[in-house]
Structure 1
Amino acid sequence: MKKINQLLLLTSLLTLTFISEWAYAQLPRNQDSHTYQLENPISVQYLKKNLRKSQPRLVLNQAIEKKLREKLQTDPLTQHIFQAIKYNTESVLAMNLITVDIPDNPRSQKNQLGISRNFLYRVNMLGMVYFVEKDPEILQRLNEEVLAACIFPTWNPKHFLDVGEMSLAIALALDWTAGELPKSTITLAKQSLIAKGIMPSWPENGETPRWVNGTNNWNQVCNAGMIAASIAIAEENPELAAKTMNRSIEGLNHALAAYAPDGAYPVGATYWGYGTMFSVVTAAMLESAFGTDFGISEYPGFKESANFGLLTLAPSKLLYNYADSPDLPELYTDFTLSWFASKTGDKNYLNHERFMQTPEEIGKLSRLAGAGLVWTAQFEEKGSGFIPNAWKGEGANPLVIFTGQGENKEGYYFGGKGGRGSISHGNMDAGSFIFELNGVRWAIDPGNQSYGLLSRAGFDLWSRCQECDRWKLLTKNNFGHSTISVDNKRHVVDGLATIVDFKDGEKPEATFDLTPTFEGQLKSATRKFTKDSPRSIIIEDQIETNNATKLITWQLMTQADIKLVDGGAVLTKEGKTLRLENLSHPEISLSVISLDPAPLELDRQIENLKRIELRIPAWIFEGNKGEIKVRLIGE
């Protein structure tokens, strides 16, 4: 019991820091009308006529199974993934049965999400191994796990993400065993899906839960669970199944609309991996059960988001970690991209490098690895698509990414963004950027910090008014990002910075209009990023002050060591060097502010963190107009 509790705690620590009940309460609602809508013919009559009668029918069906078994005999990548699943299954077998009784942890949030995720992981490992090999011992363990989960008092509907992941897991366990679990277990599982999964999604007061029509991962996760549960109980209760599925498919439009127009997921790379993982499993379940995904895969920007998933991972293997994202990628991204590979035939989306390793080297897999194996096995190469070296993603939180040409031996990577603080998981980071070269991240984003610790301290992380607590944190306000600040004030929380110009080619450039970010502080502001060589980036700000403007501060966040020199600074880290050239105001010396330790005890403490500042008095600008121009170049 001690070992399983420790394992569950670890899972909780790794995953719970990124989702919050209070975060969800602040999700924006999508009020825009969209010309593209999912098909939604779901009714009792439609289910009875069109739902596949035989099992499996969730992610798998007879045709998909045939291809999977062929690839298990002929395709090394599929074989390696299955061996990794078997290796992970051995770890599951060494655990105690799933339990709701886990010790409280001061870093976690008070919910059951870690338990639900751990159970989904167990089902994917055990369920896929049993499906392929029909080992009765695996079936017995899966039966015991399902029974243990079904006798939980609740699946914690007050934090419905917990219910969504648990419902999906139970539905997959029933489906992949195709009636081979004991009849009593099947009966209990379906009763539990209704009583602890679906019915709590229909409140007695008649109100629609906010996640149904929300715009980010809560929508995607919870609706996926409800669709899976509805398919699992459709024969027993077609009326409940039909009305639940119809509501969920309609609701998915609101989350999928956030991918338009280019696939830039508004809440960053980690949440893209999480939310998209559940949208692709939804598409796969609908397609295997009905022969159509009702338009999910063709939603504007959705397939294009695969490039977003690839491009937000830098050569250093660190994420472009804006929007409450951690530095390191999550496990589930690999298999999410496998689904895109199966749909496009583009081998860029298959992670050969990781999955051709030994099971021991691969290590722990995503909790949807069973489904990921199926998607990988469906892949038929149609060529290697073009991954752009200069890419822009517009939408609610626009960004641009420049990478190196060809093999990118210099490890060039630049990411810059617009957006606004008031978006879900947003920060006051409009105009900010990160920059990597030679394996070193020179300009950093401070990234995310533990939601649980802040919540337990009574800190209001999720309200986003101009003076709210969130903006006191260095990871959230503009003073912790490589942008500009005016008169030492915060950015305007609702001011949306947009892309107004973009050019690709060997010297790509992108311009953001930052004027709304500084409403009342400046008359106008734009920021232009130009990759002027394979080893450098130019940041050029055009500023027009108003009569109240006194000081403009140009900022760069770094963990490098810094030596101030005439006309700029020299940064060193890991034996590498980067020059900061103050092109517009070489007569003004830079300043260095140490942020280790960070200003507040509740701030994320980042080793050797510094802010380089170029502080320019407004009176220097003739006619209230001026330019700030800085170049970063590696040696």
Structure 2
Amino acid sequence: MKTFFTALFFLLACCAAAQNKLSGKTNFPAHPRLLLLAGEEENIKKTIKNDVLLQNVHHGILAKCDQFLKDAPVERIKIGRRLLDKSRTCLQRVFYLSYAWRTTHQQKYLQRAEKEMLAAAAFEDWNPDHFLDVAEMTLALAIGYDWLYQELPESSRIAIKTAIITKGLQPSMLNGSNMFWLKAAHNWNQVCNAGLSFGAMAVYEEQPELAQTIINRAINTIELPMKIYEPDGAYPEGYGYWNYGTTFNVLLISAFQKALATDFGLSEQPGFLKTAGFLLNMTGPTGQPFNYFDSGTGGEINPAMFWFAAKLKDPSLLFTERTYLAKQVKHLTDDRLLPALLIWSSGIQLNKIPAPKKTMWTGKGSNPVAMMRSSWTDPNALYIGMKGGSPSVNHGHMDVGSFVMEADGVRWASDFGMQGYESLEAKGIDLWNMKQNSQRWQVLRYNNLYHNTLSFNNEFQDVDGYAPIVSYSDNPAYMNTVVDISSVYKTQLSKAIRGIALVNKQYVVVRDELEGGAKATKVRWAMLTAADVKIIGPNEAELSKNGKKLYLKVQEPVHIQLKTWSTAPTTAYDAPNPGTVMLGFETTLPEKSPAVLTVLLIPQAQKKNSIQKTKPIAQWEKKPFR
């Protein structure tokens, strides 16, 4: 009987899932139907009327559109194997110009958007060998076609919709290696499914069967990358790719909701709504992100956060976004999806954004991370971001156990982040091979020798290893996170546990508890910094930057000598790293013996205060991370 009910439940679940997709003839709203229905421009106007920051965004978009009027239409010029730069240029222009038309009804914006779309429609193809290029170009023309449909001449409509179908939708139905993204659990899946679904919804009446197939395929296959948010919302690919993958995912959900009054349950996927907390906590008091993996060093506006804030009715999620809006006026219009921010911010009052309540965030998953801070409102607050995970994650680096640290408005412990892909690919680097012996790991910014973690005998971390967070505590007296990093060093030693603590909101402890392997091992503890370094004792260094100071003190082992390592490139393919240095020490771990490395990071104001002796990690206050 139990088996019968289990089978029945499974059957009903499958039926429910099947019904949760398009079937038969679907009645879409008249154009415009994507993201912003007819008349909804008035909601935006009401929101920005009494909000200076959102007014700046609106006027910034219009000013950018006035620049576009002077530019020649996009041309089909590839950079290496990618047309992506041109697809993104077209997307920004069409999205901005279409927004400008809908909010001002000035003919110059309509005409320039039409000209841009016709230029892209005339390309021989949209480079299906690199399908992100197709996806973003399809999104561009879908928005323009839909939003400007009523005003476009019939000849332009035909040219644009034909291009969407023949250069966007139809190539996605061909079997080939360029369609790998349908089975991928990362940003490619999110971006490609979103772009193609926009195209399908825009031209649904012209090719209903094809459009329905593409939309239903997206509903099915986008669940793969959406599973990576489970269980807590940590996005494995890091800060930069959160913006890319998650924003396109939200675009898709938002478009479904507007056009079909359902998102097919996508927003309720486990962990997805929680990812807003992940992104919120990824930015430190300096405004810089925890930029592990292929992320840039600067923070940026994230339009999707406005969707999450409205969806969750939690304006505190926009705490850092408001700061970006206030400080980065000149750079806001670098974001090609910026009009979406104004669509999703409807009704939100940015002058009433409260500070978040929790000062610690932890997330499990394939790349677990933890972020701790002493305050949200103090610009001099201490901030630490640390990670476990694996180098094998998409866009991964050998940075397991790495961390960033800020105090007094300075980032003291840094991460290089990404090097431009084309700069490496053009020199023949096999960049996307993630195997242990890949050239990828020879790149300076990718291996563990240039991250804030450990190295043993100057060997690389094991790409197949995985480091979980095993415990944490959010007690302000000893806020901490503990990661078992043993498996990424399994051929080099028996055990490696790293714990990082923020003590009494005053200073940071980085403690490693190790156990040697079958032979003696040289251990290297290292930290990347952009500060000036002065070694003032065998176990103490003074870091200086922007008139502030931080002291790095090695508490254990006692007999070490701090030193620095250059970050200058030694190959023709590594990028230069001016103004940075690796600071740390080396010691020998005897065979099959335990050892402890304890390093303190002490802001100048706390230098004269008493520093307690660091307890073994087993005695740290902790909550099991289950």
Shared fold, TM over 0.5 = yes
2:55 to 56, 65, 79: 79
Give 2:387's match in structure 1, choosing from 417, 431, 438: 417
Residue number among 562, 575, 582 corresponding to 2:534 in the alignment: 562
1:498 offset after TM fit, Å? 0.8
Residue 241 of structure 2 corresponds to residue 271 of structure 1: yes
Cα separation, partners in 2 of 1:600 and 1:538, compared to 1, 3 Å: same
Matched, 1:345 2:345: no
Tell me how far apart the structure 1 counterparts of residues 327 and 559 of structure 2 sit (CA, whole Å). Answer: 54
Which of residues 381, 395, 404 in structure 2 aligns to 1:434? 404
Residue matched to 1:599: 570
What is the CA distance between 1:72 and its match in structure 2?
Answer: 4.8
The aligned residue for residue 571 of structure 1 is 543
CA spacing shift, 1:373–1:516, aligned 2, 3 Å:
same
Deviation, 1:43, is 6.2
| 1:58 is the counterpart of 2:34 | yes
**What aligned pairs does 1:518-557 form with structure 2 within 5 A after superposition?**
518-557=489-528
CA distance in 1, matches of 2:175, 2:453: 48
How many pairs were matched up?
587
Residue 364 (1) aligns with residue 333 (2): yes
Deviations 1:584-618, CA, capped at 9 Å, x for gaps: 112222222223x2333322221243222322222
Deviations 1:475-496 (A, max 9, x none): 1111101111112211111110
In 2, the alpha carbon distance for the partners of 1:592 and 1:243 equals: 58
Cα distance between partner residues in 1 of 2:409 and 2:282:
15
Amino acid paired to 2:348 = F
Match for 1:609: what amino acid?
T
Give the residue type in structure 2 aligned to 1:629: T
Q: In the alignment, which residue of structure 2 is the partner of 1:500?
A: 470
Q: How far off is 1:356 after superposition?
A: 5.7
5 Å-filtered alignment, 1:222-621, equals: 222-330=192-300, 333-350=301-318, 351-355=321-325, 361=330, 364-379=333-348, 384=354, 386-506=356-476, 507-560=478-531, 561-595=533-567, 597-619=568-590
Which residue type is aligned with residue 339 of structure 2? G
The higher-RCO structure (CA 8 Å, 6+ apart) is: 1
Distance of 1:89 and 1:137 partners within structure 2: 9
State the AA in 2 paired with 1:352: R
> How far 1:323 moved relative to its partner?
0.8
Contact 2:569–2:577 under 8 Å retained in 1: yes
CA contact (8 A) 1:307 1:387 kept: no
Deviations 1:467-518 (A, max 9, x none): 2111112211111011111122111111101100011121211100011111
Distance 1:579 1:459 in 2: 39
In the TM superposition, what is the alpha-carbon distance from 1:439 to its structure 2 partner?
2.1
Please, what is the CA RMSD of the aligned residues? Answer: 2.5
Structure 2: how far apart are the matches of 1:217 and 1:363? Answer: 23
Distance in structure 1 (CA, Å) of the matches to 2:328 and 2:458: 53
- CA distance in 2 between counterparts of 1:77 and 1:435 reads 30
Change in Cα spacing, 1:38 to 1:371, as seen in structure 2 (3 Å) is farther
On the 8 A contact 1:487/1:549 being kept in 2, the answer is: no
From the superposition, tell whether residues 468 and 603 of structure 1 become closer, same or farther in structure 2 (CA, over 3 Å): same
Q: 1:585 to 1:229 in 2, by over 3 A?
A: same
The whole-number CA distance in structure 2 between the counterparts of 1:68 and 1:388 is 31
Shift of 1:39: 5.3
Structure 1, 608-617 or 263-272: larger mean CA deviation: 608-617
CA separation in 2, counterparts of 1:403 and 1:73? 35
Over 3 Å counting, the alpha-carbon distance change for 1:557 and 1:419 in structure 2 is: same
Distance 1:363 1:495, change over 3 A: closer
- Going from structure 1 to structure 2, the CA distance change for 1:173 and 1:404 (only over 3 Å counts) comes to same
Distance 1:377 1:115 in 2: 30
Describe the superposition over 1:519-557 as per-residue Cα deviations: whole angstroms up to 9, x where unpaired. Answer: 121111110111113231101111111222422222222
Q: 1:608 to 1:82 in 2, by over 3 A?
A: closer
Tell me by how many angstroms 1:434 deviates. Answer: 1.2
**What TM-score results when the alignment is normalised by the length of structure 2?**
0.88
Q: 1:555 to 1:392 in 2, by over 3 A?
A: same
Q: Which residue of 1 aligns with 2:601?
A: 632
Query: 2:160 — aligned with what?
Result: 189
Measured after TM superposition, the shift of residue 165 of structure 1 is 0.5
8 Å contact kept, 2:51–2:349: no
**Contact 2:291/2:417, CA 8 A, preserved across alignment:** yes
- 1:77–1:364 distance in 2 versus 1, CA, 3 Å: closer
Task: From 105, 122, 125, give the equivalent of 1:134.
Answer: 105
List gaps (5 residues or longer) in structure 1.
Answer: 1-34
Shift, 1:569, TM fit = 2.1
| 8 Å Cα contact 2:21/2:264 also seen in 1 | no
Instruction: Give me the whole-angstrom Cα distance separating, in 1, the residues matched to 2:325 and 2:291.
Output: 24
Q: Deviations over 1:16-46 (max 9, x none)?
A: xxxxxxxxxxxxxxxxxxx999956476644
* C-alpha contact (below 8 Å) 1:55/1:175 kept by paired residues: yes
Q: 1:302 to 1:42 in 2, by over 3 A?
A: closer
Among candidates 116, 120, 132, match of residue 161 of structure 1: 132
Residues of 2 paired with 1:544 and 1:307: CA distance? 36
1:200 maps onto 2:171 in alignment: yes
Structure 2 unaligned blocks of 5 or more: 1-12, 605-626
> Aligned letter for 1:390?
M
TM-score with structure 1 length normalisation?
0.87
* Residue pair 1:417, 1:431 contacting (<8 A) in 2 also: yes
Specify the alignment match of 2:10 in structure 1. none
* Partner SS for 1:364: helix
